[in-house]
Structure 1
Amino acid sequence: MKPKAPTREQLEQYALRGLGYADDHVMESFNMKNVSDWLGISYSYFYHIFAEIMGEPYWQYVKRHRLELAAGLLRHSGYNIGEISDLSGYATMAAFTKAFTNHFGRSPRYFRKIEELPNEKRTLELTAMITAVYAQQGSTISDFFSFDRAEHVILPDAVMYYTLISYGQDPIAQLVMKMSYHEQRFRKMLDTLDLPQGKIITGTLDAVPVTDYEKLSMYAGVSLPAKDLQAHLQFGAQFPHLIHKRLNGGNYLRLQVPMDFVTAGVPMYDFINRCCRQGIYKMSGNHFFISLTGPNLCEIYIPYMKQLL
């Protein structure tokens, strides 16, 4: 009997898991054969699946993703260029500088000095629109997005189990349409396995505002402390279809805001960018995220370098 051809959904899962592998191993050396072997499919099959689903060859995505994350670190972190080269998976700073300059048309040193990136204009315009809505309600964004309101917390290393909501589509529209479903699904998972320590979180795998808006990969997922091995055994066994990603622990700023995650997302970036550019703090990575804690209530977590506060 001839085996059934894989469905479109199954092909998408191969592509998305490959994308997740690239993000989780961004600092490490790997090749497409490593990924296809990990997926249990042939090299050529994976090559064609990824290009068809994602609209670009896999290794082109890997290179772009690494360089965009590096650009985000140049924008908001306190790392020097050599450290950012290492964090982006380049063997030498010379190789990183050449690749970065070819991709962005600017050297890393010059890029760091740019006052406003092209993609920031759209983000700032959306921030102004949301600010105007709150002003009509007798409130201001600055009431909530103030550094004085941020708490300093230490998070443990964690693992996130997630699904991608948008890839090559309008990310905010996709979040609005799909997040309620995914939030309910993840809450049911946590309740079923009795894992109250899990956080339901959302964010992007990419670097805001470096990555083009239409290419942002937005996710919804569950974060569990890495040391809780029993929880990971349970979660991995029950939900093997989910992609997973390591989340670095350490120093974070936590900002509680009385609004839904969609409304909070845009002014969150403005808050991060403003504080970093003013030297109030520097980020230790691009992996900021939003935790959904209740109706019209969320917590923003921003990794920062404590010595710069």
Structure 2
Amino acid sequence: MFKSSILTKEQLENFALQGLCFADDHVSDPFHIKDVAERLGISYSYFYHNFNDYMGEPFWHYVKRHRLELAAGLLRHSGYNISEISELCGYATTAAFSKAFKQHFKESPKDFRRILVLPNEKRTLQITESITVAAGSDIFGNFFNYERCEKITLPDSILYYSFISRGQNPIGEMIAKMNHYYTMFRKMLTLFDLPQSRIITGTLDSVPVTDYEKLSMFAGISIPVTATAAHQQLRDNFSYLMKKRVPGGSYLKLPVPMDFATAGIPMYNFISRNCKEGIFKMSGNHFFISLAGPNYCEIFIPLLKKHY
């Protein structure tokens, strides 16, 4: 195990972020804090205090909040029933899920599903729009048309990613730092043979359920699980990257001639509008933007099978 006296600030930060990554990647799985600490090679106590100091909330508080916020996103955009959502978000029984959900959101899952405008929705979208408006976020709304979508099947993949931003102004920081990360991941694609890979960006959180100031934005490379040689290359050369399972299956693919920042607001409005109208329902919160070029990206939205 590591000794705290020899750890740098960057290592301490990485331990906390690895804990956040683990919680997200195991959102439907039962686990204990000691499982995370053992994975990181540090003591339970040290991980507990380090996470709390860096993230500003206890680890298990984050796990519970994250699961319930993802559940709220599924209530909003998916076609799953409440029992299915409780299982997807790591609850052993629907009763336990419903009790925890009402304690957190002050509404039952059933009543929450009827809310037209979520508590954080207007504020989050206003903040994001104020940041991206200079890029012309309203101009390209016509590109977000269901008729322009292509229905495709994606393989199960592993995302190797870095956190771009989190904290007080995650969208603003994301825009400021994206060129650096895009260049870094583009170099990786050039240096290594990474078949069927994509540079993607998104959030671990459920927008707009999660408070704007608590969003965790990422960028990374998504690679099909079957590309074993590529995975070995990344593990050998970029062990510092976080990992996340990205489920395959049915997706809507929507190409848009704009940068990721410009696409953000119309993308969310497109998803929200079509889910409300029943045009499609999502199979999870793992929608993402693929960065195909400086001013061209592709939106990928996971579809519930019966809407495929």
Is TM (by shorter chain) over 0.5? yes
8 Å CA contact 2:124, 2:211 repeated in 1: no
Partner of 2:84: 83
Where in structure 2 are the equivalents of 1:103-118 lying within 5 Å?
103-118=104-119
Deviation at 1:216, TM superposition (A): 0.5
Per mean C-alpha deviation after superposition, the further-off stretch among 118-127 and 158-167 is 118-127
CA deviation vs aligned residue, 1:155-206 (integer Å, no higher than 9, x gap): 0000000011122231111111111111111111121112242110000000
Per mean C-alpha deviation after superposition, the further-off stretch among 16-25 and 168-177 is 168-177
Where in structure 2 are the equivalents of 1:93-108 lying within 5 Å?
93-108=94-109
Cα distance in structure 1, aligned partners of 2:236 and 2:13: 21
Partner of 1:48: 49
Per mean C-alpha deviation after superposition, the further-off stretch among 57-66 and 112-121 is 112-121
Partner of 2:68: 67
Over 4 Å off, 4+ runs: 126-135
Cα distance in structure 2, aligned partners of 1:190 and 1:249: 21
Q: 1:144 to 1:48 in 2, by over 3 A?
A: same
Unaligned 5+ segments in structure 1 are none
Q: 1:170 to 1:20 in 2, by over 3 A?
A: same
Aligned to 1:72, the other structure's residue is in SS state helix
Partner of 1:265: 264
Where in structure 2 are the equivalents of 1:168-183 lying within 5 Å?
168-183=167-182
Q: 1:3 to 1:116 in 2, by over 3 A?
A: closer
8 Å CA contact 1:261, 1:298 repeated in 2: yes
Letter in 1 for 2:101: F
Where in structure 2 are the equivalents of 1:192-207 lying within 5 Å?
192-207=191-206
TM-score (norm. length: structure 1)? 0.94
8 Å CA contact 1:255, 1:300 repeated in 2: yes
Letter in 1 for 2:72: A
Cα distance in structure 1, aligned partners of 2:143 and 2:283: 23
Where in structure 2 are the equivalents of 1:254-293 lying within 5 Å?
254-293=253-292
Cα distance in structure 1, aligned partners of 2:214 and 2:128: 20
Unaligned 5+ segments in structure 2 are none
CA deviation vs aligned residue, 1:34-77 (integer Å, no higher than 9, x gap): 00000000000001110111110000000000000000000000
Partner of 2:141: 142
Partner of 2:23: 22
Partner of 2:301: 302
8 Å CA contact 1:15, 1:49 repeated in 2: yes
Aligned to 1:299, the other structure's residue is in SS state strand
Cα distance in structure 1, aligned partners of 2:55 and 2:4: 25
Deviation at 1:84, TM superposition (A): 0.1
Cα distance in structure 1, aligned partners of 2:237 and 2:129: 43
Cα RMSD after superposing both structures: 1.9
1:245 and 2:244 matched: yes
Partner of 2:229: 230
Per mean C-alpha deviation after superposition, the further-off stretch among 213-222 and 228-237 is 228-237
Q: 1:38 to 1:132 in 2, by over 3 A?
A: closer
8 Å CA contact 1:127, 1:267 repeated in 2: no
Aligned to 1:116, the other structure's residue is in SS state coil
TM-score (norm. length: structure 2)? 0.94
Cα distance in structure 1, aligned partners of 2:6 and 2:232: 31
Percent of residue pairs bearing the same amino acid type: 60
